[in-house]
Structure 1
Amino acid sequence: MIKNSFVYLIFAILFVFVGCSSKKFFEPTKIDSFMKFKDKLTDHIQTSNRFGAVLKNGSVITQNGVSYIKLDKNSLFLNDSDDYYIITQKCDQIELINKKTQESIFIPVDTCALSASIKADKLAVILADNSTNIYDIKTKEILFSQKGTPSIAINSLLSAPIFLDTLVVFPTLDGRLLVVDEKSYSIVRNIIINSEKFFNNVIYLMVDGENMFAATPKRIMSIISGREFSYDADIRDILYDKNYLYVLTLEGQIIQLDKTLRETNKVKLPFATLNAIVVIGNKLYTIEKTGYLIELNIDNFTYKVIEVKGMFGKKKLDKINFYDKNRIYYDQYYIDFTKE
C-alpha cells in the first residue's frame, strides 16, 4: 500500500513538472538595450479600464494624466467625458463630478454601470445586465432604455458609448453596436459584430469622420462609407491611429490593418504576451509580461527588444497596467514616451 502511494506521488510530481515545463515563454533572440522605470506614481494601480486607472490610495489617472479626484473603496471610475468625471457607486447610482465646480450629480440606476459617456446634458450608460440607457442629466429621467441578451462572462476591456451628431452608438456586452437616434430615441441600426456566447462584449469602438471601427475579442469590423468589412483574430487589444488599426493578438502578433481591414504589415513574437499600445511618430510601444518593452518601427515593422530592469534583475510586467496616448502605466510606475 505504501509502495503504491509512493508510485502515485512520483507520477503526481512528474505530471506537475511536465505540465509546468511545457509552458513556453517569449525568449528574444537579441536584447537591444536595457531600461528602468524612471517615473513613479503615488501608489500601486488597483483597478483599470479603457479610460482610467485607480490607485490603491484612491487617486485616479485618466487619459489626460493624474486627476484631482480621489475615490473611496465603494466607487469605481468609468470615464472622463465632456465636462464630467463619471463614477459608479455601490451599483445603485452614478456620480457625475463637474470638472469646473467639483459639484456632484447623482443618477440612480437599477444595477452596476460598466461604461458611460456624456454629451451636453445627456448621459449614455451600459449596465451589467446589458441594458443600454440614455438619461437626462438635469431631470435624471430615462429617455431611452433597451435591454439586450445578458452576458455571463465579459472581457475587462469595455468600450463606452459614443455620441455622434444626432446618434448614439452603444457597444453592447453581446457583440453588437446599437445605434440610437438622439432626437426620437428610436433604434436606427442593430449591427452584429460577432455572436460568441462568452467574452463577446465590444472591447473597442472608434469613429473617425464617416468611418467606424469596432471589435470584440474575436472579430474586428469597420464601416467605411456604409460598406462593412471584417477581420477575425484572437484579439488582446487594438488601437486606431492615423488611418491604420494596430492589433495585438493572443499568439504574440502585432498586426497593421488598413481601414478596410486588409493586412499591410505583421510581425510575430513567439509566445509573447503583449499589453498596451502607444504610437508616437513612427514607433509603436508595447510591453511583454516577462519583462520587456517592445519598440516597433511601423514603417518597416522591424522591432527592438528592451529589457526592463528591476531591483533584482529583469522586472516582470505581469501586474495591472493602463495606457494613454503618450504613456504606459505599470503597477506603480510609468513610461512617458514623449520624453525620449
Structure 2
Amino acid sequence: MRKILSLLLVISTALLLLSGCNSRKSFEPEQTSSASSAISKTGKEAVAIMRDGVTFSDGSYLTRSGMGSVKLPQGFHYVNQSSRYVLAADDTGKILILDRKSGKVVKEGKLDFPLISATIRGNNIYYVSQDNVFGVYSIPANKVKISAKVGRAYAVDTRIANPMPYQGIVVVPILDGKLLLISPSNPKAARGMAIGDSYNLNNIIYLHSLGSRIIAATPNKLISAAPGAMHKFEAPIADVTIAGGKIYLLTGDGRVLKLSPSLKVLAERKFPYAQFTAIAVVGGKVYALDRSGALIVMDPSLKKSRIYDVGEVDNYAFVAGSRLYKDDEVINLSALGY
C-alpha cells in the first residue's frame, strides 16, 4: 500500500505543480536570511507520511501536536488517536489499537482492505479503507459492525483527511470527493455532501471545523459549509490551516491567502513560481514553505515578510505545534520572525 500511495503522491504532486505554472522555473527570492540557529537534526527516517501523522523507522511518530507517546510495532504506521487509544495500521489491512498511556496493544483486528483514514469516537472506529470502503469498527467487540463500498475513486491525492467529530456527528471524507455525515446512534442512515466533482484526484485533503462551519478542501477547491449556506473558492490547493478564526491557504500557483469563514479574501500575496508545500500560523506569524527551501515568514496582513533558507524539501514537510519537520530536520518556527 505504501508503494501505491507513494506513486499516487508523486502523480498528484506533479499535477499540482504543473497547475501552478507553465514552465519549470522555480521561486528565486532576491535575498534570504540564515535559519541555521533554529534548525536541528532529528536523526529519524520517515517510512509513512499521512495527512495527520508521520511514522519513523524506529516506531516513533509525529502528530499535529508533536511526537507521539508510544512506540509502534515494526511494519505498522500511525493513523489517528483519541484520549485513550492510538490507532495504527499496516499495508495488509491489519489494525492495532494501543493504550495511549502504557503503549500496550489493546486489540488487534483485520480489515478486508488496507486502512486509509480513521477517527476514534468512544468505543468505535469510523474509517475509510482502500477501494473507498466506509466502515465502523467496534473496539470492545473487536469486529467490523458496518462495511460498505461508497463510490468509485480511480486515483487519489494521498493527502487524505481523517474523519472528524462535529456537533454530535462524525464527518467522514470518502475518496470520491464526498463527505458522509454519520450519526453514531444510527450510522446506517448516513447523509452525503458532495465536494469534489470527479472520480480522479478529488478526494478531501483537508477537513476541519470553524465554529458551526465545516471547512474542507479537495486538490482543486476549498469549501465552507454552514447550515443553509455553502461557499466555495476554486484554486489548486497546496495546504490549508485555520488560526484566529481565519483560514490561511497556499495555492499551487504561488499565492498565500487569508480568508474569512465565508471564504472572502481578506489578504493575498503572490510569490511567482513558488511551489508551496506547508503552511503554519504560530505566535501571530504566518509561515509558508516552498519546496526549494524558502521559508517565508509574514505578518497576519501578509504585507511584511522575511525569507529564510532552510534547505530543499526532498521527502516531506509536516507542521507539529510550533515546529516544522522536514526530511531529517526540525525547525523551531518561534525562533524565526519577519
Q: Give the TM-score normalised by the residue count of structure 2.
A: 0.86
Equivalent position amino acid for 1:34 in 2: S
- The alpha-carbon distance between structure 1 residues 286 and 318, as it changes in their structure 2 partners (threshold 3 A), is farther
Point out where structure 1 has 5 or more consecutive residues left out of the alignment: 1-21, 309-314
- The aligned residue for residue 35 of structure 2 is 35
* Equivalent-residue separation in structure 1 for 2:308 and 2:282 (angstroms): 17
Could you tell which deviates more after superposition, 213-222 or 49-58?
A: 49-58
Equivalent position amino acid for 1:30 in 2: Q
Matched, 1:333 2:336: no
Q: Percent identity?
A: 26
Q: CA offsets, 1:155-190, max 9 Å, x none?
A: 121111112343111011100011111112233421
Could you tell which deviates more after superposition, 80-89 or 192-201?
A: 80-89
Alpha-carbon offset, residue 138 of structure 1: 0.2
Could you tell which deviates more after superposition, 280-289 or 35-44?
A: 35-44
* Equivalent-residue separation in structure 2 for 1:271 and 1:207 (angstroms): 31
What value does the CA root-mean-square deviation take over the aligned residues? 1.9
- The aligned residue for residue 309 of structure 2 is 307
* 1:69 aligned counterpart, secondary structure: coil
Task: Please tell me whether the aligned partners of residues 284 and 300 of structure 2 are also in contact (alpha carbons under 8 angstroms).
Answer: yes
- The aligned residue for residue 75 of structure 2 is 74
Equivalent position amino acid for 1:283 in 2: K
- The alpha-carbon distance between structure 1 residues 300 and 43, as it changes in their structure 2 partners (threshold 3 A), is closer
Q: CA offsets, 1:268-306, max 9 Å, x none?
A: 111111121110132111221222111011124332111
Which structure has the larger Rg?
Answer: 1
* Equivalent-residue separation in structure 1 for 2:170 and 2:307 (angstroms): 41
- The aligned residue for residue 324 of structure 1 is 320
Q: Number of residue pairs matched?
A: 312
Q: CA offsets, 1:312-339, max 9 Å, x none?
A: xxx3223222112311101111112235
Alpha-carbon offset, residue 73 of structure 1: 4.8
- The aligned residue for residue 46 of structure 2 is 45
Task: Please tell me whether the aligned partners of residues 47 and 320 of structure 1 are also in contact (alpha carbons under 8 angstroms).
Answer: no
- The aligned residue for residue 10 of structure 1 is none
* Equivalent-residue separation in structure 2 for 1:288 and 1:332 (angstroms): 17
State which of 168, 175, 178 in structure 1 corresponds to 2:177. Answer: 175
Moved over 6 A (4+): none
* Equivalent-residue separation in structure 2 for 1:282 and 1:60 (angstroms): 27
Alpha-carbon offset, residue 56 of structure 1: 3.0
Q: Equivalent residues in 2 for 1:262-273 (5 A)?
A: 262-273=264-275
Matched, 1:95 2:96: yes
- The aligned residue for residue 125 of structure 1 is 127
Task: Please tell me whether the aligned partners of residues 70 and 102 of structure 2 are also in contact (alpha carbons under 8 angstroms).
Answer: no
* Equivalent-residue separation in structure 1 for 2:124 and 2:151 (angstroms): 24
Point out where structure 2 has 5 or more consecutive residues left out of the alignment: 1-22
